[in-house]
């Protein structure tokens, strides 16, 4: 009897000493914050999910406006269009191909896509760089001279694979504010291309917004990177994702084309300060067309074209958190993952810096009550957002489907993440 009692005490003591305190101090307060965005009319639907490095759920809740979203249950298995959250997936494949010796980051893009060898660079009608003009449009537009019609000049440098990763290659979206440049891109209907070759042909007919290597400018650079991946490997981007990421690491819920029985969520807009279904053509980052997502689709856009579930994308994030390994399969070397989150661009920004399309937060995030220093963050066009906390070994996802947020929804990501860390810091004190 004494031996049994002693064994019980030992087991109890061991379990007590090894019991890990939950990150979430009070889930009710987080529930209230998430539901607020539905109740105040700033979101049609919202899901928040936190997972530890082993895939264990730390927190999850979802809310929706039943009138706007009557036909979908919002949970970890719901499919979302993730747009620019595709970019880090494409970049990770690039790093894997580098490890396999199939490409080099310093290679010229023309080595793989010779069709893009002779791209012109667009300058203003008085020969000024358009990147500076586009970035100034956020200020008083009345002081800016219309740069159109544009002057096209020869590029003074050769575009590299690394410049595609860092958004320094000169590609852009049709949101520059330069009407003649945006209209030219819109007219190509890039997302309506039948396949990669047709997309490349259309891109070859458009000018760059700046000389490669001159300045970072967010745009279609990662989409072109996906085309490089295809040419370097001889496989479609769809197959690269399957063969290198989802199948070997047992990830379900991250892909390009939807399954035949998958019904995607509606797209919402808050551009009129109220929530409504988005009109055709409103998602205008590359014209009136959006990626196809259909089962038979043969175009895979590495910067914008993926769909994913919260559970599936969290698995991908956990691979990065685990330094390139998931479910017993090593996808990337630790050195490659380190390269992804190391400083590369926007090094003088007080809020942090850019790695390879990962924003790494500065201490200002903690000072302002929105998280902590050293978080790896990113997001997508329809409001999806993620972060990785390498200090505490967990990942976070905020999922919705709204490309323009009503006034009441501004700062949503920061507020939700702030509430998470408010509770974490309570536990850490």
Residue 161 belongs to domain with CATH number: 3.40.710.10
pLDDT score recorded for residue 141: 57
Domain limits at 109?
Answer: 91-233
The token duo for 54 is 């082993």
How many CB atoms within 10 Å of residue 117?
Answer: 14
234: left (phi over 0), alpha (psi -120 to 50) or beta: left
Where among 233, 255, 280 does a domain terminate? 233
Residue 217: inside a domain:
yes
Residue 102: inside a domain:
yes
Are 364 and 218 in a shared domain? no
Q: Tell me the C-alpha distance between 282 and 290, whole Å.
A: 10
Are 223 and 195 in a shared domain? yes
Are 281 and 404 in a shared domain? yes
Residue whose C-alpha is closest to residue 59's, from 51, 70, 71:
51
Q: Tell me the C-alpha distance between 125 and 3, whole Å.
A: 90
- Give 117-156 pLDDT, tens digit per residue: 999 999 999 999 999 888 777 565 556 789 999 999 999 9
Are 70 and 110 in a shared domain? no
pLDDT score recorded for residue 341: 98
Residue 221: inside a domain:
yes
Q: Tell me the C-alpha distance between 407 and 414, whole Å.
A: 15
Are 144 and 48 in a shared domain? no
Are 149 and 282 in a shared domain? no
Residue 48: inside a domain:
yes
Are 193 and 54 in a shared domain? no
pLDDT score recorded for residue 12: 38
Number of domains observed in the structure of the chain: 2
Residue 79: inside a domain:
yes
Residue 3: inside a domain:
no
Are 52 and 192 in a shared domain? no
SS3 content of the chain, % helix, strand, coil (to 5): 35, 15, 50
What is the band of 265 on the pLDDT scale with cuts at 50, 70, 90? very high
Non-local (6+) Cβ contacts of 135 within 8 A are none
Are 220 and 272 in a shared domain? no
Non-local (6+) Cβ contacts of 378 within 8 A are 84, 85, 87, 88, 357, 358, 359, 385, 386, 387
Are 275 and 196 in a shared domain? no
What is the band of 24 on the pLDDT scale with cuts at 50, 70, 90? confident
Residue 376: inside a domain:
yes
């Amino acid at each position: 009897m004494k031996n049994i009692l002693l064994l019980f005490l030992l087991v109890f003591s061991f379990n007590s000493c090894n019991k890990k305190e939950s990150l979430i101090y009070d889930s009710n307060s987080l529930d209230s914050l998430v539901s607020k965005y539905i109740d105040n009319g700033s979101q049609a639907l919202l899901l928040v999910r936190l997972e530890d490095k082993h895939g264990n759920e730390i927190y999850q809740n979802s809310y929706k406006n039943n009138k706007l979203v009557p036909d979908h249950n919002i949970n970890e298995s719901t499919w979302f269009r993730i747009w620019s959250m595709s970019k880090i997936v494409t970049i990770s494949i690039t790093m894997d191909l580098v490890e396999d010796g199939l490409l080099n980051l310093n290679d010229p893009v023309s080595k793989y896509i010779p069709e893009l060898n002779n791209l012109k660079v667009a300058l203003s009608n008085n020969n000024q760089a358009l990147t500076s003009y586009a970035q100034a449009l956020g200020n008083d537009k009345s002081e800016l001279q219309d740069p159109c019609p544009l002057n096209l000049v020869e590029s003074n440098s050769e575009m590299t694979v690394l410049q595609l990763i860092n958004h320094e290659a000169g590609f852009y979206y049709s949101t520059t504010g330069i009407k003649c440049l945006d209209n030219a891109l819109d007219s190509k209907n890039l997302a309506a291309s039948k396949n990669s070759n047709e997309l490349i042909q259309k891109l070859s007919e458009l000018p760059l917004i700046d000389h490669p290597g001159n300045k970072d400018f967010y745009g279609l650079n990662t989409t072109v990177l996906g085309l490089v991946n295809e040419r370097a490997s001889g496989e479609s981007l769809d197959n690269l994702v399957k063969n290198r990421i989802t199948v070997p690491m047992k990830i379900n819920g991250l892909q390009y084309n939807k399954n035949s029985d998958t019904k995607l969520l509606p797209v919402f807009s808050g551009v009129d300060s109220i929530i409504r279904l988005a009109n055709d053509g409103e998602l205008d980052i590359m014209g009136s067309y959006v990626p196809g997502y259909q089962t038979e689709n043969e175009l895979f856009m590495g910067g914008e074209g993926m769909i994913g579930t919260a559970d599936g994308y969290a698995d991908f994030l956990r691979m990065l958190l685990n330094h390139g390994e998931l479910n017993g399969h090593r996808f990337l070397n630790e050195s490659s993952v380190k390269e992804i989150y190391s400083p590369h661009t926007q090094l003088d920004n007080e809020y942090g810096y850019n790695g390879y399309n990962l924003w790494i937060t500065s201490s200002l995030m903690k000072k302002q009550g929105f998280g902590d220093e050293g978080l790896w963050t990113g997001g997508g066009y329809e409001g999806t957002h993620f972060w990785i906390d390498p200090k505490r070994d967990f990942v976070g996802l905020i999922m919705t489907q709204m490309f323009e947020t009503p006034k009441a929804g501004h700062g949503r990501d920061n507020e939700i993440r702030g509430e998470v860390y408010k509770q974490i810091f309570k536990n850490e004190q």
